[in-house]
Chain A
Amino acid sequence: MRQVHALGVDLQDGLHGRKVPAAARRLRRLLDVDGVVLADLDGPVAGNGRQPDPQEVKGLLAQVFEYGSNTRTRLTDGTSVCAVPLIVDDELSGALVASGHPVEDDVEAAAALVSDCLDHAALRRTRARIAAADLRTLRAQISPHFVHNALAVIAALVRTDPDRARHLLSDFADYLRYGFSEKGDYATLSEELEATQTYLELQRARFHDRLDITVRMAPEVLPVAVPFLVVQPIVENAIRHGLERKEGRGHISVSGFGEGPLCVIEIEDDGVGMHPELARSLLAGTGPESRSVGLANVDQRLRAVYGPEYGLVIETALGEGTKVTVRIPRFTRGVVAQ
């Protein structure tokens, strides 16, 4: 059983992984034959033990791939070579060749086992791709939200204040370049702040300067790599749900500082706040549909990148404003701003 399990580990990266020769050796021992060759559709990829003549193997493989069934030949020295196709997900994708005195049923069973392992490898790769795609979808989810708001603001200003509208449009263009850039999934905190700035510029236009903004950033956290669009959605949430409904002036502050190996970003507003229950349900993704996009999304992405303990922390109460804290490690393997 241990050998079978180890075979699965050896083949976890498919037929082109680093440990395929080890898998061939294990198969030779399991089958108790003189030599084993693992081949994909282009020919042998790994072998172990006494190998039959390459021409012989080539002919054998051609035969297997043509008919898709087991093939056996007897060699001049009394031994025989047996080749069995590897069928992964109903598709022919390689062959297992055993030489010496192979028992055909055993080789067939081994081939089935190898096929299963390869199937698992393929599934694992797919799963990783799905996770990456998820991340990208989540990222894209934010943009339409903002695009609509921004265009509405600019449209309202086009006649009354064309100069400002022009500025805002160029800001908006900058923002789009940032948001839609295909460079990777991470940016530095300072780039993220610049994107937030263009966003705030657009929002201030809407608020007719009813909005006060304070930014405190310790310079040592500016080069920290963060996932794209982490600060901006929180700021957007603070404005849309905290300050928009508030009478009179509103104030929002963004501060960032280092705390040992962690980087802390706090976004605080003095808006209407919300019920703590609502905040909890928002993070859990069970909140009302209209509000579920921003915070839950950021929270989910942070957890996906840094691990479950690095989600958002929301401190709020009705009428007391809201404070959202992002706490992330300054360095995580694989998180690099491009």
Chain B
Amino acid sequence: MISVLAIGLVLVTSLVIGVYGVRAARSTSDFLVASRRISPNWNAMAIAGEYLSAASVLGLSGLVLKNGLGTMWYAVGFTAGYVAVVALVAGPMRRSGAYTVPDFAEYRLGAPRLRKLCGCVVLVIMLLYLVPQFKGAGVVLSLVSGTPYWVGVLLAGLVVSGSIAAGGMRSATYVQAFHYVVKLAFLAIPAIYLMVHSSPDTRTQALHPEWDTRFPERTSVEFTVGTRFTLEEPVRVTTPGGGEVELGAGEHTVAEGTEYAFPEGAAIPSPVGLPELGSERWSTPLLNVGGHPLFETWSTLLAITLGCMGLPHVIMRFHTSPTARTARRVAVGVIALLGLFYLFPTVYGLLGRVLTPQLVLLQGTDTVAVVLPAQAVPGSVGTVLTALVAAGAFGAFLSTSSGLLLALAGGLSHDLFQGSVPRLRLAVAVGACVAVLLALPAQMTDINVLVVWAFTVAASTFCPLLVLGIWWRRLTLPGAAWGLIVGAVTATGAVGWSILLPTPAGWATVLLAQPAAWTIPLAFATMIVVSRVTRPPDWAEHAVLRLHSP
């Protein structure tokens, strides 16, 4: 209940800031204050607030728990993305005056049709990014209110589109900056409390992942989904009816809805296909799902780092900076803020491995940050901490998804249906509906798998467009268009295949699940080759010059 209250409080506060929090001046002497531009620090906080999504707040700690230490590379990538943004696009993008990537494409290559194509890519990226946000919100809401998952997702959709309709994003900068504080504080305070108040044993175990993994106490596990797992040694579990079932060593299949209580000290069963908790595969600092850790790590890192600059809602935030110089300063500030934030998801992941290992069995590792506090500190303190984390996670969902929804709706109403009277609110509603519908079947998919999908598509489409558009004057319209098409189709197709269809074994699995390492070079190559054989527009020289002249 207190969690619901905390979430409501975050929501109401953001709405109030959104509608009334714009700097108001009541006399003319304040007029100049009101019209003075926002400081880079505020802006950096706003960007960080919009950027830290459910993937960071919930997904990352879940992945650490489930797939091991290698997943910390995600945090590295999410932060390092801004290094690429500072170095390559922040300044020139600001100088171009372009607000979105389609704007930039039109500025640089001057073709309405390319603008439409970019609009389509924006839609794909935004939807891929929105679905995991709604999934995260659905999970959190259903967890704290006890409703089924679909109610949570539906509620999340209503809340975010309602808050946009109520004008909640009018002063987006302040709302997003507020959300950064909410996310940082509400995740950091429980994390620090948990670290201080967990027993020395727990801390030692958390820092030594190869420690044997056994249930720390008698743990009741309710399987919300059918699961297959293997047992090292036979164990006697208790059912809710009071009966006892003997599970032998080997593989077991459990139907949905089963509830088993494992005795204290029993070895934790490991689900089929996942690295065993604490095993060498778990503690190696590389991503390893398909058996080629080095390639997977590099590919993911590339996707996230380069994808960041292609995310439409990231790029448009630099428009707020008055000059290219401040745009770069803002990006540097974002790196610092993100670096600070990413300390904490790891804490949840490592502590979760010790205290809530059953989540791996339930395929519910995305919830670890919310479940952990109550598990670690029973009683009212735990409830309050849970409420904090839930509110922080909800803030993450709210800020990111409203930013995403607005970008998506903007793309729909402005880029794809140019000329008609912009019906932004309708587009927001449509976007939210589609995202909710897509999020319903996504309950079992990890948040970060979907988020990395979005990053991969962004890295294989807008990253080459922006980098070449800014740094290479010979880029042509057909080159850009073909590069976008090739990048979008290969990246979307490959990841989609690996999630939705059975994949062939061996290298193909890795190449399909982590395609960035080949789709990004492919998109770059297509743009360069096609541009070589076609003519750049007359004004290319002039347009590129303006991007770089101070």
Give the B-binding residues of A (Cβ under 8 A). 18, 188, 190, 193-194, 196-197, 200-201, 204, 212-220, 222-223, 225, 255, 257-262, 307, 309, 327, 329-331, 333, 335-337
If A190-B36, A218-B170 touch, does A330 touch B22 (CB 8 Å cutoff)?
Answer: no
B106 contacts A333, C-beta separation under 8 Å: yes
Return chain A residues, CB-CB under 8 Å to B30.
215
Indicate which residue in B31, B34, B99 contacts A330 across the interface (CB closer than 8 Å). B99
Q: Which A residue sits closest to B326, measured CB to CB?
A: A223
- Distance of B330 from chain A, by nearest CB (Å): 12
Indicate which residue in B25, B410, B420 contacts A215 across the interface (CB closer than 8 Å). B25
B26 contacts A329, C-beta separation under 8 Å: no
B34 contacts A215, C-beta separation under 8 Å: yes
Give the one of A194, A261, A329, A337 with max B CB within 10 A.
A261
B401-448 residues with Cβ-Cβ distance < 8 A to A are 406-407, 409-410, 413-415, 419-422, 424, 427
B26 contacts A214, C-beta separation under 8 Å: yes
- A204 to B29: give the CA distance in the assembly, Å: 12
A217 contacts B34, C-beta separation under 8 Å: yes
- Distance of A101 from chain B, by nearest CB (Å): 34
Indicate which residue in A196, A213, A331, A336 contacts B26 across the interface (CB closer than 8 Å). A213
A190 contacts B24, C-beta separation under 8 Å: no
A261 contacts B100, C-beta separation under 8 Å: yes
Is B38's beta carbon under 8 Å from chain A?
A: yes
Return chain B residues, CB-CB under 8 Å to A259.
170, 424
Q: Which A residue sits closest to B171, measured CB to CB?
A: A218
- A141 to B48: give the CA distance in the assembly, Å: 46
B26 contacts A219, C-beta separation under 8 Å: no
Return chain B residues, CB-CB under 8 Å to A257.
22, 170-171
B110 contacts A333, C-beta separation under 8 Å: yes
- A327 to B413: give the CA distance in the assembly, Å: 14
Return chain A residues, CB-CB under 8 Å to B110.
333
Give the one of B25, B42, B99, B110 with max A CB within 10 A.
B99
- Distance of B156 from chain A, by nearest CB (Å): 20
Give 9 nearest A-B pairs by CB, closest first: A219-B38, A260-B410, A193-B35, A261-B410, A197-B31, A331-B103, A257-B170, A331-B99, A330-B99
A255 contacts B172, C-beta separation under 8 Å: no
A194 contacts B23, C-beta separation under 8 Å: no
Give the one of B97, B110, B414, B538 with max A CB within 10 A.
B97
Is B549's beta carbon under 8 Å from chain A?
A: no
- A253 to B295: give the CA distance in the assembly, Å: 58
Return chain B residues, CB-CB under 8 Å to A204.
28
- Apart from A217-B34, A219-B173, A261-B414, what 14 extra A-B contacts exist at CB < 8 Å? A193-B31, A194-B32, A197-B31, A197-B35, A213-B25, A214-B26, A215-B24, A216-B34, A218-B172, A219-B38, A219-B42, A257-B22, A260-B422, A333-B107
Return chain B residues, CB-CB under 8 Å to A190.
35-37, 322
If A193-B35, A261-B414 touch, does A223 touch B320 (CB 8 Å cutoff)?
Answer: yes
Compute the total of residue contacts between A and B using a CB distance below 8 Å. 129
- A201 to B28: give the CA distance in the assembly, Å: 7
Q: Which B residue sits closest to A327, measured CB to CB?
A: B422
Return chain B residues, CB-CB under 8 Å to A214.
24-26
- A204 to B31: give the CA distance in the assembly, Å: 13
Return chain B residues, CB-CB under 8 Å to A215.
24-25, 30-31, 34-35
- A217 to B98: give the CA distance in the assembly, Å: 20
Give the one of B34, B107, B410, B421 with max A CB within 10 A.
B34
- Jot down 20 A-B pairs with beta carbons below 8 A, ordered by A: A188-B322, A190-B322, A197-B32, A212-B26, A213-B28, A213-B31, A218-B22, A219-B23, A219-B42, A220-B38, A222-B38, A223-B322, A257-B22, A258-B172, A260-B406, A260-B422, A262-B422, A331-B97, A331-B107, A333-B107
B414 contacts A222, C-beta separation under 8 Å: no
Return chain A residues, CB-CB under 8 Å to B28.
197, 200-201, 204, 213
B22 contacts A220, C-beta separation under 8 Å: no
Is B213's beta carbon under 8 Å from chain A?
A: no
- Distance of A218 from chain B, by nearest CB (Å): 4
Return chain B residues, CB-CB under 8 Å to A216.
22-25, 34
Return chain B residues, CB-CB under 8 Å to A194.
31-32, 35
B379-418 residues with Cβ-Cβ distance < 8 A to A are 406-407, 409-410, 413-415
Indicate which residue in A196, A219, A329 contacts B320 across the interface (CB closer than 8 Å). A219
Q: Which A residue sits closest to B35, measured CB to CB?
A: A193
Return chain B residues, CB-CB under 8 Å to A331.
97-100, 103, 107, 319
B320 contacts A220, C-beta separation under 8 Å: yes
- Distance of B349 from chain A, by nearest CB (Å): 34
Q: Which A residue sits closest to B428, measured CB to CB?
A: A260
- A204 to B26: give the CA distance in the assembly, Å: 13
B118-157 residues with Cβ-Cβ distance < 8 A to A are none
Indicate which residue in B173, B409, B413, B420 contacts A220 across the interface (CB closer than 8 Å). B173
- A212 to B26: give the CA distance in the assembly, Å: 7
Is B3's beta carbon under 8 Å from chain A?
A: no
Return chain A residues, CB-CB under 8 Å to B38.
219-220, 222
Return chain A residues, CB-CB under 8 Å to B420.
309
- A140 to B100: give the CA distance in the assembly, Å: 33
A330 contacts B319, C-beta separation under 8 Å: yes
- A222 to B173: give the CA distance in the assembly, Å: 12
- A66 to B26: give the CA distance in the assembly, Å: 74
Q: Which B residue sits closest to A218, measured CB to CB?
A: B171
Is B14's beta carbon under 8 Å from chain A?
A: no
Q: Which B residue sits closest to A203, measured CB to CB?
A: B28
B477-505 residues with Cβ-Cβ distance < 8 A to A are none
A213 contacts B172, C-beta separation under 8 Å: no
- Distance of B24 from chain A, by nearest CB (Å): 5
Return chain A residues, CB-CB under 8 Å to B173.
218-220
- A89 to B415: give the CA distance in the assembly, Å: 42
- Distance of A187 from chain B, by nearest CB (Å): 12
Indicate which residue in A217, A261, A329, A335 contacts B23 across the interface (CB closer than 8 Å). A217
